[in-house]
Amino acid sequence: MFEIGTIKYGRELGYANESDKYIWHICIDCLQPRWIRFLKGRPIHIRCKKCFDKISSKLSGVALKGKFNPAWRGGVSRRNSYIYIYMPDHHRVTTQGYVRRSILVLEQKLNRHLKYKEQVHHINGIKDDDRPENLMPLMIGDHTSLHHKGKGRRK
């Protein structure tokens, strides 16, 4: 057959994704070799579909959350220039279980939880600059008026 680690394009293997790269790889559970899509220098899966389905059915989907998910990247996420940390038990959590890092840093600086109507203001305007000296708590209305100062109606 092929030597483990051989890389070929999809067009060479007759696959629909002709320009994608594939690697001849062994499933870590059943040790059966197969072609797997190769992305960013590594195979996108380490198990064959049969072995993956067997594991996930035993664990009833619980193991696919958090650090057990194959797409887990250490609990740090970045969206809209903000950095989010995975903390599913925090009171300001998103539906996915993440909290903005700026909230965590400001709460630690203040030694208390932020109130329901408080928001974090980045003094220098850089959303991912979460240094304690760059953060300050503001009520929602004050925060909004600060950002919209001078942008009122035209006369």
Tell me the pLDDT tens digit for each residue of 25-37: 998 889 999 998 8
Which domain covers residue 18, as residue numbers? 7-61
Q: What is the mean pLDDT of the chain?
A: 86
Question: How far apart, in whole angstroms, are the C-alpha atoms of residue 154 and residue 150?
Answer: 10
Same domain, 53 and 82: no
Residue 57 lies in a domain: yes
Do the beta carbons of residue 112 and residue 138 sit within 8 Å? no
Q: How would residue 101 be classed by pLDDT, with cut points 50, 70 and 90?
A: very high
Structure confidence by residue, pLDDT tens digits, 45-94: 888 888 888 877 666 555 566 666 767 778 898 899 999 999 989 999 99
Question: How far apart, in whole angstroms, are the C-alpha atoms of residue 122 and residue 130?
Answer: 8
Same domain, 56 and 80: no
